[in-house]
Chain A
Amino acid sequence: MSAVVASAARPRPRPGKSIFRHHVVRAVISIAVFLVLWELGSRLKAPWVGDVPPPTVVMNTWLPLLTDQGYWYSWYQSSRRVLSGFLAAMLIGIPFGLAMATSRVFNDVTFPVFEILRPVPPLAWVPAAIIFWPTQELSIGFVIFLGAIFTIMLNVIGGARSIDVRFFQAARSMGSSNFDIFRRIILPGVLPSIVVGCEVGIGITWNVVVAAEMISGGGGAIQSSAGGGLGFFIWNSYIGFSYPHIVVGMISIGIAGYISSAIIRQLGLMVTPWMRLR
């Protein structure tokens, strides 16, 4: 898009270094306080957290894993599934959402089905996905896809419908054709909502991938070839009564989700440079 090209050529004020440090300091304090409370709670056998392994034990379990190929392979497996399911959700969800927002007929025809399918939790799809799809990977990918697509579509539809009518009127009176309006008003107008939808959507894919792996990847003869993934890692640790490993898996997923959302946010700012002003 032309707006993006122009902005890249232009120097942009960046936040000062001191503000950035401030930011990081706060984050570090917040995490440190959390860890200390957790350690204390665990050591003092406080109710509820008493049975959770303390962070020091978790770290002792985790550190050796950092050089373990299998652990990183789990990361790779889960990331790959998230990414493919998520991309499929974007590729199908964005055009579908745009069509629903711009065509009344299309909306009327698809909306009832959309609304009935939307509340069905992705996990409820797991058995059906296993039956429908020929391979386990496709089943997992499909469940992830379902986790992200509705959020993306809802944001696209909402975003397209909330574009200010004056933009359309202004474009119309300056001689824009329907295609111009789609390309130069609707698309850029909906882009910030697409970014938000993707940011939320990728978080949901992590929720879903883990559960999908636990259920479909967790048992059966296929597991060696399909690869475990982080969800399976947790499930397997549970089966093996290795509680520190469960926590390692949980934190790993938290970190993976955090990184994914941060990447989407950054990519989002790159395609919507005018939103940095907010």
Chain B
Amino acid sequence: MNAPSSMRSAPAGQHASKGAIRIQNVDKMYYAREGAVQAVSDCSLDIRAGEICMIVGPSGCGKTTLLNAIAGFHDITGGTISLDGELLCGPEKPKAEPGPDRVVVFQNGALFPWKTNLENVAFGPVMQGKMTWAQAREKARGMMADAGLVGVEHNYPGEVSSGMRRRVEIVRALMNDPKVLLLDEPFRALDSLTKSVMHEALLEIYYKNKVTIFFITHDLEEAIFLGHRVAIMTTRPCKPKKILEVDIPHPRNYSVLTSPRFRELMEETVNAVHEEAVKAFEAGEKEM
């Protein structure tokens, strides 16, 4: 398959062998007003170290529930999730401890509005006691420059464009030297032009940093363009319906979008997703 070979072609990063997530038979029940809701059921998924794994599924199918379980924001009601062989959560310990090895980039962004972009980026290492503010700012400046974020260091997040904010947030996550980046539809609110710029920017950041990326999206083009693999999830309860290997070699750029192979993969994905979307629509699923 192409994913492993493409990883060989990318520059060696510090985490090339770290960041494998194993999701085994995970269940998640919610207790809502209308009764128990099975958000995730018997979901198993192996995410390889250093890959970009795209999670695609209908609205409200429980993708974010899965992400929250990995991040340690919510508990699970069955199964286990482990990171590099270490148990994050399972029957004994239903809720994982949030930690800097798994950092989330949120759907609508969660940069602290009261901190400048630079201070946002510098935040993590200081909190973890690894650096002083001065050291962290120094490193943050370098990382922001690498990501093309020059001249906005001392602006507040509210002063820069939404595309810029997303980039700052991704860099903030990377400052923690995570094994896994958990991205929850990070580019959803962006217009399609900005989105395409962000895709290439994300890939560039990825080629430099080589972390595992768990990326939730609704956008199939985005999924195939970025991912080594695309996991198509069933409508609630959520579990992988089909896992698609994207055999287009990395590094990729936007010319990939017009290639025949891309079109074929797109068709395959559309068919699989559409079926689930119809089911979800008929069931009247709400966003969870």
> Which A residues are closer than 8 A to B by beta carbons?
1-3, 6-7, 9-10, 164, 166-167, 169-177, 180, 184-185, 188-189, 191, 272-274, 277-278
Contacts and interface: CB of A to CB of B under 8 A. Distances in A.
Given A10-B154, A277-B156, A175 B110 contact: no
Given A169-B71, A174-B100, A274 B124 contact: no
Interface residues of B, number: 31
Most interface-central of A9, A167, A173 (chain B CB within 10 A)? A173
B99 interface: yes
Given A6-B118, A188-B114, 19 more contacts: A1-B114, A2-B115, A6-B116, A7-B154, A9-B154, A167-B110, A167-B112, A169-B71, A169-B110, A170-B106, A171-B123, A172-B72, A172-B98, A174-B127, A175-B99, A175-B176, A185-B112, A188-B115, A274-B114
A166 B106 contact: yes
B100 A175 contact: yes
B71 A176 contact: no
A7 B103 contact: no
Contacts of B115: 2-3, 188
Interface in B75-134: 98-100, 102-104, 106, 108, 110, 112-116, 118-119, 123-124, 127-129, 133
Contacts of B158: 274, 277-278
Given A173-B102, A175-B100, A180 B112 contact: no
27 contacts: A2-B119, A2-B133, A3-B114, A7-B156, A10-B154, A166-B110, A169-B73, A170-B104, A170-B110, A171-B123, A171-B127, A172-B72, A173-B71, A173-B72, A173-B99, A174-B103, A174-B124, A175-B100, A175-B127, A176-B127, A184-B112, A185-B112, A188-B112, A188-B114, A188-B115, A274-B156, A277-B159
B119 A3 contact: yes
Interface in B117-169: 118-119, 123-124, 127-129, 133, 154, 156, 158-159
B114 A164 contact: no
B104 A173 contact: yes
B159 A175 contact: no
Contacts of B176: 174-175
A2 B119 CA distance: 9
Contact of A191 (B114, B129, B133): B114
A6 B115 CA distance: 9
Contacts of A170: 104, 106, 110, 112
A161 to B, nearest CB: 17
A191 B103 CA distance: 27
Given A167-B112, A274-B114, A174 B128 contact: yes
A273 B119 CA distance: 14
Interface string B7-25: 0000000000000000000
Contacts of A277: 156, 158-159
A2 B154 CA distance: 12
A88 to B, nearest CB: 27
Nearest to A10: B154
Given A169-B110, A172-B98, A274-B156, A6 B119 contact: yes
A3 B98 contact: no
Given A3-B114, A3-B116, A166-B110, A173 B98 contact: yes
Nearest to A176: B127
A4 to B, nearest CB: 9
Contacts of A272: 114
Given A166-B106, A169-B71, A277-B159, A174 B112 contact: no
Contacts of B102: 173
Contacts of A185: 112
A33 B102 CA distance: 63
Given A172-B98, A174-B176, A180 B110 contact: no
Nearest to B104: A173
Most interface-central of A172, A177, A272 (chain B CB within 10 A)? A172
Contacts of A9: 154
Nearest to B130: A175
A9 B113 CA distance: 18
A189 B113 CA distance: 9
Nearest to B116: A6
